[in-house]
Each structure stands twice: as structure tokens, then as C-alpha cells.
Amino acid sequence: MPSRIHTKSPQCPPRRASLKITVTALALLALTSFAPSAMAQAYPAKPVRIVVPTGAGGPADIMARIIAERLTKSWGQAVIVENKPGASQMLGADLVAKAAPDGYTFMLSNDGAIAINQSLFAKMSYDPLKDLQPVAKLVTLPLVLVVHPSVQAKSTQEVIALAKTQPGKLNYGSGGSTTRMAGELFKGMTSTDIVHVPYKGSGPMVIGLLGNEVQLAFDGITTSLPQIKGGKLRAIAVTSLTRVPTLPDLPTVAESGVPGFEAGTWLALFAPAGVPKEVQARVYSELTQIMAQPELRTRLLDMGLTPDLAPPEKFATQIRGDVDKWAQVIKRAGITADN
């Protein structure tokens, strides 16, 4: 009797199995494509904080509160400004660098914490270029060269001539790393001997300048403008390459006989490295709309802040250039964190 051959029927016909795989793949693709969009739409789902690594009342603090107020209205979620000054801005910067990269912690700071400190300090608890990522540059802050009224100089060239006839006799004050860098850059480019006197902030430095403890300073327009308008300080020149709307009749240092001289700072928003691209794009989109408001632009210009919005990719290139520039100034002048 012939033996019977038993064959096992497939559990699923080939065509049906192929269809099942295709449907599953399409479903996974749809979920993958939907996830970033859903994340951006759901963000923010809780309060957001902006850490300012300087004290209250300064340009970074003012800018942070302006942005926070408008983001709160737009998002319907509280955006809280938290001042964390200390250790040359490194206290606040370190806090943000080590925060979860979930889009709920940002930092608004100037170039000190990002582009200058790493050349001043041999050891830092965070890497500014690796642990923090730029979200947007918001404004630039040109500095202004100001002198005590008793100083017999009314132009940049007269300041240089006075410094050269009295080497080591003139003092310049600084209220932080940015203003210190401007002073050292000026000394290097003009071959002058002017003594540096550090202060703990622009406020104390301006008081020292008003009291003739120091004879000149490179200061933020925001803090010196009231004294300039009141006739208590004499403005000599601005440190940007072009004149500024706040002081339109004041020449630049570069056009006053020091070609190429440019110093100043910027204010920008940073996030911990690794923040989702969708969140970063959402925040930048909001900032674009905020910075385009005519009323805000006028207000910023009146304070000496120049609106200068730049996306993260373009701004990252500028940061690298600033790091190199100030590293050269610091090395040439022999500056350390202790002097």
C-alpha cells in the first residue's frame, strides 16, 4: 500500500504575509513621521525656565524678562527667569549645561560664559562649545569708550596721545570680562600703556569712573547712556564697526584712527546640548516673531541694544570666531583668571 505524503499547509499564504509586512512597515513609518510633529505641537507642557548667569538688572536679565513675558503669553505656560550669578557666569552656565536636554531649561547670557572664559580658566566644569548649544542670537551690545570729564581728550586720537605721553598714568575700569577684553584689545592695537582696574560689575565701575578712580572705560551703552546724557561722562566713540542709532553722531573707534577695531558683546539663548531639534526650531520660530515686533525693536534700540537675530548654525560660526579672537587677546596680554 503506497505511503501517504503529508504536507504542512502554510499558516498564511505568501501574498497575505507580504501584505501584512507592508502594512506594518507603513504604520511604523507613519508613527516615526508623526512623533516629531506631535512633540513640537505638545511643547511646552509645563513651565520653562531661563537661567541668567548674571545678577538682576543687567542687560542679560532685562532681555531674559522681555523674552519670558512674551513667550508666556504665546505659549500659555509660565516662562520663569532665574538669576544664578557667580564664578564669572560659570555657576549658571554649569547648571544649564548639566540640565536635562528636554527644552525646559535655557540660558540667556553674553559672550563671557561661552567665548571668553575657556581662555581665562585652565579648568572648567563644562565645555561651552560641547555642553551648550545655541538656539538664537538676539541682540548685539556695542560698547562705548567713555572718559571722566576731567580727562583732556575729546576724540580717540586724543585719548591715544594722552596715554602715550603719560604711560602707566591713566586707569581704565572694567565691569566684567567683555569690557576687560575691549580695553586690552585697545591697548594692543594702539600700543598704549593703560592700567586695568577691575570692578564687580558695570554699576560699581561707573561709580568708580564718576569718582575719577579710573579715567576711562569701555562700557555697555545701556549702563553709561544716562551718565552721558546727563553730562557726567564724556562719550568718545563706539566699539562697533558701524555707528549705532542710540548715539548716531558718535564715531566708531575704527573710523577714528584704529582700523579694524571691534569689540562688544551679544546676548543669546542657549540650551543643554542634545535638545530635540523640533523644540529648538519651535523656540526659534517664536523668537523670530517676537524680535520682529516694531515696538520691541524701538525699545531695545533706546536701551542701546541692537536687534540682531541669528539662527543657531550661523551664530555657532560667529562663536567660534569670537573664541579665537579673544584667546589671542588674552594670550598677548598675559591675562589669567587671577589678574
Query: Rounded distance, CA 238 to CA 177, Å?
Result: 18
Query: Rounded distance, CA 271 to CA 100, Å?
Result: 9
Q: What is the pLDDT of residues 25-82, one digit of tens each?
A: 555 555 555 444 555 568 999 999 999 999 888 889 999 999 999 999 999 999 999 9
Q: Answer with the residue of higher pLDDT: 255 or 31.
A: 255
Provide the H-helix boundaries in 76-141.
Answer: 90-97, 117-120
Asked if residue 134 has pLDDT above 60, the reply is yes
pLDDT at position 338 is 75
Question: Which residues neighbour 31 within 8 Å (Cβ) at sequence distance 6 or greater?
Answer: none
pLDDT at position 58 is 84
Sign of CA dihedral 164, 207, 182, 332: positive
Query: Rounded distance, CA 243 to CA 251, Å?
Result: 6
Q: Which of 18-22, 49-53, 125-129, 176-180 shows the lowest per-residue confidence on average (mean pLDDT)?
A: 18-22
Q: Which of 27-36, 185-194, 200-209, 330-339 shows the lowest per-residue confidence on average (mean pLDDT)?
A: 27-36
Delimit the CATH 3.40.190.150 region(s) of the chain. Answer: 48-140+265-333
Question: Span 203-212, mean pLDDT?
Answer: 94
pLDDT at position 213 is 97
Question: Using an 8 Å Cβ cutoff, are 140 and 308 in contact?
Answer: yes
Question: Span 106-114, mean pLDDT?
Answer: 96
Q: With H, G, I as helix, E, B as strand and everything else as coil, classify residue 38.
A: helix
Q: With H, G, I as helix, E, B as strand and everything else as coil, classify residue 327.
A: helix
Asked if residue 7 has pLDDT above 50, the reply is no
pLDDT at position 21 is 53
pLDDT at position 201 is 83
Asked if residue 230 has pLDDT above 80, the reply is yes
Q: Which phi and psi angles does 83 have, rounded to 5°?
A: -80, 125
pLDDT at position 26 is 53
pLDDT at position 228 is 96
Kind plus residue range of the DSSP H or E element containing 306: strand 306-310
Query: Could you tell me how far CA 273 lies from the centroid of its own chain?
Result: 15
Asked if residue 223 has pLDDT above 90, the reply is no
Cis omega (within 30 of 0) on the bond before 44? yes
Q: With H, G, I as helix, E, B as strand and everything else as coil, classify residue 139.
A: strand
pLDDT at position 9 is 45
Q: Which phi and psi angles does 141 have, rounded to 5°?
A: -125, 95
Hey, how many other C-beta atoms are within 10 angstroms of the C-beta on 224? 25
Which CATH class, in words, describes the domain spanning 142-256?
alpha beta
Asked if residue 195 has pLDDT above 60, the reply is yes
Q: With H, G, I as helix, E, B as strand and everything else as coil, classify residue 191.
A: coil
Q: With H, G, I as helix, E, B as strand and everything else as coil, classify residue 252.
A: strand
pLDDT at position 203 is 86
Residue for cell digits 600703556?
193
Is 48-140+265-333 a CATH 3.40.50.300 domain? no
Q: If you average pLDDT over every residue of the chain, what do you get?
A: 90
pLDDT at position 5 is 42
Q: How many C-alpha atoms does 79 have within 13 Å on its Cβ side?
A: 22
pLDDT at position 29 is 54
* Bridge partner list, 173: 197, 217
Look up the pTM and report it.
0.83
14: confidence class by pLDDT, cuts 50, 70, 90: low
* CB burial string 85-99: b at 16+ within 10 A, e below: bebbbbebbbbbbeb
Query: Rounded distance, CA 286 to CA 92, Å?
Result: 24
10: confidence class by pLDDT, cuts 50, 70, 90: very low
Query: Rounded distance, CA 105 to CA 80, Å?
Result: 10
Query: Rounded distance, CA 235 to CA 179, Å?
Result: 15
Question: Using an 8 Å Cβ cutoff, are 179 and 88 in contact?
Answer: no
Cell digits of residue 43: 511643547
Query: Rounded distance, CA 49 to CA 68, Å?
Result: 9
Encoded amino acid at 94, one letter:
D
- The percentage of the chain sitting over the pLDDT mark of 90, rounded to a whole number, equals 79
Beta strands at 132-147 and 195-198: parallel, antiparallel or unpaired:
unpaired
Question: Span 100-116, mean pLDDT?
Answer: 96
Distances (CA, A) of 241 to 68, 214, 219, 254: 30, 26, 16, 6
Q: With H, G, I as helix, E, B as strand and everything else as coil, classify residue 214.
A: coil
Nearest to 306 by CA among 112, 139, 119: 139
